[in-house]
Amino acid sequence: MSDKIIQLNEDLIKHDLKDLVRSSVEETLNALLDKEADDLVNAEKYERSSERQGYRSGHYKRNLHTTAGEVELKVPKLKGIPFETAIIERYRRRESSVEEALIEMYLAGVSVRRVEDITEALWGTKVSPGTISNLNKKAYEHIETWRTRSLSGSYPYVYVDGVYLKRSWGGEIQNVSILVAIGVSNDGCREIIGAAEGMKEDKESWRSFFVWLKERGLTGVRLVIGDKNLGMLETIPEVFPDACYQRCTVHFYRNIFSVTPRNKMKAVAMMLKAIHAQESKESAREKARQVAEKLKEMKLSSAAKKLQDGIEETLTYMDFPTQHWTRIRTNNTIERLNREIKRRTKAIGAFPDGQSALMLVCARLRHVAATQWGTRRYMNMDHLSKLEDDLLSDICLLYTSPSPRDRG
């Protein structure tokens, strides 16, 4: 009876199944590449057509790591038009994710043997112990190249903030500040334009950061959005004399809440939001005056003083297109990134040095930038162009209109 029992070789089955899946993935990807090439040239292989845009010119081979293993891509070469494939773009985004994971595992103290197992489970390719340090070094180089790249075009809106992490220094745990800047370009897309170690958010750190951005090509800055920091406020007019400053309204509210009793916080929040719900700067100022008087009646003189002292720098956004107001009056777009960074670095604890902290932060930022976050239009910048054109027309009209004396 026992000789009729079928015995299965699980290792052999797993190997055969993996090969089957890998072959299927390889065949599918190459079929997609051929279809993309057909769509670009507007004709199938060997098809004669008057609407043809280009011609096939063979192909070149390229390996791609997938969860099913390494596959060989046959990338079409075209004459007359360039061949750009979404598959290769996804591969590039995946590369940045792999780099970030390797650095994160390394900094978290994961053993070399464990890194081998993790990489094989995630990507179907085992990273040998002898190459892990080289991979991290290469990843650092890629990230540094991305971090220090040249900037081109204008970035009218720039969001800035600092994220604090822990590092070891002389046997002690100290804070290290990573300064981050996000720019909104003329096409309305967000771009991470800078990340650098700031030690602490003082004037010298902010000045060095802004000068570094400018040296890399940052131009056209009209508005800098961020939390209130005296060092930053003093530096903006020095480095970007044509830019205005917008204080994040959310941080402004929190500052007022710090001197507001908990049982009155909800009422105060509604009053503050009413200020920034106004449709003009003049009406917002008047509303702020009324709210300050109300706070004094509620025996909240400290809250009233904070409101009166800081309200003006929270209303700068009203000088810009109304369609942009909800996007540019807070620092939310960069705050979300900072929360993600802290979540990803929480398990590491203290970094060995500031450079390690900077590299991991940049790895995460680079990965996020390669997603829809960086490619989807964040706002329509035509509204800003129209506002500037209207202002220029008004100025020209003012200088060309005859004075009362001339008319007389």
Q: What is the pLDDT of residue 13?
A: 46
pLDDT interval class at 6 (50, 70, 90): very low
Looking at residues 131-146, what average pLDDT do you find?
Answer: 74
Averaged pLDDT for residues 90-119: 59
Mean pLDDT of 291-311: 96
Task: Locate 121 and state its tokens.
Answer: 């489970």
Highest mean pLDDT among 8-17, 48-57, 295-304: 295-304
pLDDT average, residue stretch 276-282: 96
Can you tell me whether residue 243 is helix, strand or coil? coil
Out of 39-43, 59-63, 192-196, give the one with best mean pLDDT: 192-196
Q: Give the CA distances from residue 337 to residues 56, 160, 161, 333, 365, in Å, rounded to whole numbers and listed in that order.
A: 43, 11, 10, 7, 8
pLDDT tens-digit series, residues 261-275: 999 999 999 999 999
Nearest-5° angle of CA 203, CA 327, CA 255?
A: 50
Assign 94 a pLDDT band (cuts: 50, 70, 90): low
pLDDT per position as a tens digit, 185-228: 999 999 999 999 886 668 888 999 999 999 999 999 999 999 98
pLDDT digits (tens, 9 = 90+) for 16-25: 556 666 676 6
What pLDDT, on the 0 to 100 scale, is given for residue 7? 47
User: How high is the mean pLDDT of the chain?
Assistant: 80
| Distance separating alpha carbons of residues 359 and 361, to the nearest angstrom | 5
Per-residue pLDDT at 112 = 58
N-terminal to C-terminal alpha carbon distance within the chain: 122
**Quick one: tokens of 378?**
């964040």
> Per-residue confidence at 1, pLDDT binned at 50, 70, 90?
very low
- Between CA 344 and CA 107 the distance in angstroms is 12
Residue 124 tokens read as: 């179907």
In this predicted model, what pLDDT tens digit does every residue of 153-191 receive, in sequence order? 899 999 999 888 877 666 677 777 889 999 999 999 999
Residue 293: pLDDT band (50, 70, 90) is very high
